[in-house]
Amino acid sequence: MKNIKNIIKAFGLATFVGVTVTSCDLDLLPLNEVVLENYWTNRDDVDNVLRSCYTGMQSSDWLERAIVWGEVRSDNVATGQTNNTTINYINKGNLKQTNAYCNWSSFYTVINRCNTVIYYAPEVADKDPNFTNSDLAVTIAEAKTIRALNYFYLIRAFKNVPFSFNPSIDDTQSYRLPASPFENVLDSLILDLEGCKDNAPRTYFEREKNSGRVTRAAVYALLADLYLWRASDANRAKALQQDDYRKCVEYCDWVLNYKYDEYMTDKYGNLNRAMDTYVLTNYGYPLLAEKSLSSGSNNAPQAYNAIFVTGNSFESLFELTFSQSINDARNSAVCNMYGNNKSGQYTQWLSANENLMETPIGNSAKSYSETTLFPVTTDYRSLTGQCNIMGSRH
């Protein structure tokens, strides 16, 4: 029997590539696992695991934590109509490590998948002539960006976290890591992305991939945020802080110029009449107009729908795309967090904080209207896009 320590157990590879290994000879292999020596042989193997890095971020566990570690910690939201004890504890300042949202496994699952792609992809490039060096560079850039994004979520919420760029691929490894200082992790992420930022594709042929997958603009935007966080460290030397602020501005300018060039090129031929001409003329930023410029059009919030309902809009740099197909991944996490327009189908663990409202709703109610929350109907934040199970996005 072959040494089963070479079986990939770290993240259940068989689950997301749909492969079952069988054997009828005397050298028996496990029936429900993918053996390492039989994997990582061609480009499809790399693409399958890279794809799982994206799907890992579509899981409810991952999305709920992204929301809890972000907006729930702000003053924007309060408890909703449906009780969620773990979220209520956080809203009340209870940050005990026993809270379920202190479980990091979904993020480290994605990180380990990225580490594994980065580790094995060069070997595949040596085996498969269809997996070229340029393909390898793009793949590595995608995996490193997703990895950096996941670590960035972790260090912003928890500061010091276990940190490694090495994959956990078999039972011989000890993967119990001590927490690394926030500053060391942040420095490593910046250095890592600086080395691959220009290998990410500027654009894809399919329009949806320009925001649904990592592009060069997404890498530059993430770098801008990383530099901004490092620049805000009061313990950092003033000269180094200023350098980091300049790098942040540099990368923001790159993204703005890139989007302007994209607008001018108008590759898909759908941008000219969709722009806010006043903002473009007076400020030079190509932003989507709220109202359509087409004759006879209604007053539907065009930009709001494009960005938050339809998705993959011109303004989006990176988003997790959820298909309308019933067979594809569904964004139930956002619906459970914020509620749904289909009564009874989802919960509502969060609601808008009364501090945002013109007229407080009082302690006896847990619902609010658009006119209560927003003082004027022309404020497009008052419009709620449909958060249905098949078409919602985060």
Residues 6+ away with beta carbon under 8 Å from 214? 141, 142, 145, 146, 200, 318
At residue 352, the pLDDT reads 76
Local confidence band at 192 (pLDDT 50, 70, 90 cut-offs): very high
| Residues in Cβ contact with 210 at an 8 Å cutoff, skipping those fewer than 6 apart | 203, 204, 312
- Token representation of residue 197: 């930022």
Does the pLDDT at position 97 exceed 90? Answer: no
Q: Please state, rounded to an integer, the average pLDDT across all residues of the chain.
A: 79
Give how far the C-alpha of residue 171 lies from the chain's centroid of Cα atoms, to the nearest Å.
30
Among 104-108, 177-181, 341-345, name the one with the lowest average pLDDT: 341-345
For residue 132, CA distances in Å to 116, 128, 321, 343 come to: 19, 8, 27, 51
- pTM, to two decimals: 0.81
Decide: 146 and 193 in contact? Cβ < 8 Å: no
**Least confident stretch, 7-11, 107-111, 245-249:** 7-11
Answer for the pair 214, 200: CB distance below 8 angstroms, yes or no. Answer: yes
> 161 φ, ψ to 5°?
-140, 160
Separation between Cα atoms, residue 116 and residue 9, nearest integer Å: 12
Q: Give the pLDDT band of residue 100 (cuts 50, 70, 90).
A: confident
pLDDT above 80 for 261: yes
Q: How far apart are CA 5 and CA 171, in angstroms?
A: 6
Mean pLDDT of 52-68: 93
DSSP state of 305: I
Give percent of the chain above pLDDT 90.
44
CA distances from 374 to 235, 348, 356, 381, 384 (A): 40, 20, 8, 8, 12
**Span 104-143, pLDDT tens digits:** 999 999 999 999 999 999 999 999 999 999 999 999 999 9
DSSP 181: P
Alpha carbons within 13 A on the beta-carbon side of 167: 20
Q: For 319, how many CA atoms within 13 A lie in the half-sphere containing its CB? A: 23
Mean pLDDT of 56-68: 93
Residue 283 clears pLDDT 80, i.e. is over it: yes
Q: How many angstroms separate the CA atoms of 356 and 381, rounded?
A: 12
| pLDDT band, residue 171 (cuts 50/70/90) | low
CA distance 331 to 317: 19
Burial class (CB in 10 A: 0-12, 13-18, 19+), 26: exposed
Q: What is the mean pLDDT of residues 135-163?
A: 96
Phi and psi at residue 162, to the nearest 5°: -60, 135
Say how far apart CA 120 and CA 322 lie, in whole Å: 28
344 versus 276: the higher-pLDDT residue is 276
Indicate the range of 68-77, 117-126, 249-258, 313-322 predicted with least confidence: 68-77
DSSP 3-state assignment of 35? strand
Give the pLDDT score at 115.
Answer: 96
Task: Look at residue 361 in the predicted model and tell me its pLDDT.
Answer: 55
Amino acid at 136: L
